[in-house]
Amino acid sequence: MPPSPARNRRADAQRSRAAILDAAVRLLNANPDAGVEAIATAAGVTRQTVYAHFPSRERLLAAVVDHVTEEAIEAMDAADLDTGPAADALLRLVEAGLRTVWRYPVLLRAIASLPVSPETDHERHAPVADRVGRVIRRGQGTGEFDAGLSAGWLVAVTVKLGHAASEEVEAGGMSYEDATKALRTSLLRVLGTP
């Protein structure tokens, strides 16, 4: 049976949405003021199609943030979180996240200055926090990490240390290598690894 016209239209819509988001990530990372016109051209669609998917610039930017977050989550999931020593898994996880973040410095700097409610920020970090929590509970279960600090607190600390590394690099205070090294040392100390 050939695919129905409705199914074709849905597949088309999904393809153009993905093309718009890819183009938006690329263009906004080169110039945070890139306009809808330029993004439409780069995606090979019309302005109208962009607006059909994202009725406002705010909605487009929110989708861009979700898109980059998904990329970071995929990189984390590719890092074998359930295998080997928990400390190594946690460092792989955090470094996978940072590599994604550091791929889009200009874009993420622009996003960081947008208004965001604590709830939205919390929701965006939830998939990261889930994965960090899984590794931390595994490490506490095997006795690799000191259980004196709660898993919830250690998740918050891990996310904050990741932000600290990212911001130090962005502000020009540290190189990628130094920030990653400082993050590794700090995380292992807080986790109470022997």
Binding residues for a copy of itself, per CB under 8 A?
109, 112-118, 122, 148-150, 152-153, 156-157, 160-161, 163-164, 167-168, 170-171, 173-174, 178-179, 182, 185-186, 189-190, 192
Closest contact distance (angstroms) between CB of 152 and a copy of itself is: 6
Closest contact distance (angstroms) between CB of 28 and a copy of itself is: 16
Distance, CA of 168 to CA of 171 (rounded, Å): 5
Closest contact distance (angstroms) between CB of 167 and a copy of itself is: 7
Token pair for 146? 């000191």
Nearer to a copy of itself, 69 or 166 (CB): 166
Burial class (CB in 10 A: 0-12, 13-18, 19+), 2: exposed
Nearer to a copy of itself, 53 or 184 (CB): 184
Closest contact distance (angstroms) between CB of 59 and a copy of itself is: 17
